[in-house]
C-alpha cells in the first residue's frame, strides 16, 4: 500500500504545479496576442514560454496519473461502486471529470503545438497557438476544483 506521505507530497506538487501551468499559459497567451497585434516575428521568448506551458502540462498530467492510479482513496472508492459514485458529485468529479478534462487539455495543447509548428507563416502559427492555448486554458480552468465549487471544492493551496 502506498504511503500517506507519498500521497500528500504528490498532491502538494499537483496543487502547486497548477499555478505554474496557469501562469505559463496566460503568459504565452499574452505574448501570442501581443505578437498578432504588433505583427512581430515569433521569437525565443514565445518559444520558451510555450515550452514551459507544455512541460508544466506534462508534469501536471503525470502527477495526476500517479495520484489517480495509485494513491487517491476517493478514486478507489468510486471504482469500488461505480454506479453509486456517479450519483455523488465529488466522487464523479475526481473519478471521471477531472481526469477526462486533464486528458483533453493535454491533447489540445500538444495538437496545437504540432499544428502551429507546421504552419507556413508566423501569423497562422500565432493564430493556431491562440486558439489551442485558449481552449487548453479553458479546459484546465474547468478541471480545477475551485473553492467556490461547493461539492468538489478544494483549497487554492494545499
Query: How does pLDDT run across 78-120, given as a tens digit for each residue?
Result: 899 999 999 999 999 999 999 999 999 999 999 999 998 898 8
Residue with cell 501569423: 123
Burial class (CB in 10 A: 0-12, 13-18, 19+), 119: middle
Residue ranges for the chain with pLDDT beneath 50: none
Note the pLDDT of residue 2.
63
Of 71, 33, 29, 85, residue with least CA distance to 52: 29
Note the pLDDT of residue 144.
95
Which stretches of the chain are DSSP H helices? 4-38, 44-66, 73-80, 82-85, 89-92, 98-117, 122-143
**End-to-end CA gap in the chain:** 23
Average pLDDT across the chain, whole number = 92
Note the pLDDT of residue 123.
81
Note the pLDDT of residue 88.
92
CB 101 within 8 A of CB 143: yes
Burial class (CB in 10 A: 0-12, 13-18, 19+), 18: buried
Per domain, the residue ranges of the chain are 4-152
Amino acid at each position: 500500500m502506498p504511503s500517506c506521505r507519498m500521497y500528500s507530497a504528490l498532491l502538494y506538487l499537483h496543487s502547486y504545479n497548477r499555478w505554474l501551468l496557469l501562469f505559463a499559459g496566460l503568459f504565452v497567451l499574452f505574448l501570442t496576442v501581443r505578437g498578432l497585434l504588433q505583427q512581430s516575428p515569433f521569437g525565443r521568448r514565445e518559444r520558451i514560454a510555450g515550452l514551459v506551458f507544455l512541460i508544466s502540462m506534462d508534469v501536471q498530467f503525470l502527477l495526476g496519473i500517479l495520484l489517480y492510479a495509485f494513491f487517491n482513496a476517493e478514486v478507489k472508492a468510486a471504482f469500488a461502486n461505480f454506479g453509486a459514485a456517479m450519483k455523488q458529485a465529488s466522487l464523479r468529479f475526481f473519478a471521471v471529470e477531472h481526469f477526462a478534462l486533464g486528458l483533453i487539455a493535454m491533447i489540445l495543447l500538444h495538437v496545437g503545438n504540432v499544428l502551429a509548428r507546421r504552419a507556413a507563416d508566423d501569423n497562422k502559427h500565432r493564430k493556431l497557438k491562440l486558439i489551442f492555448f485558449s481552449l487548453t486554458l479553458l479546459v484546465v480552468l474547468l478541471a480545477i476544483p475551485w473553492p467556490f465549487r461547493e461539492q468538489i471544492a478544494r483549497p487554492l493551496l494545499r
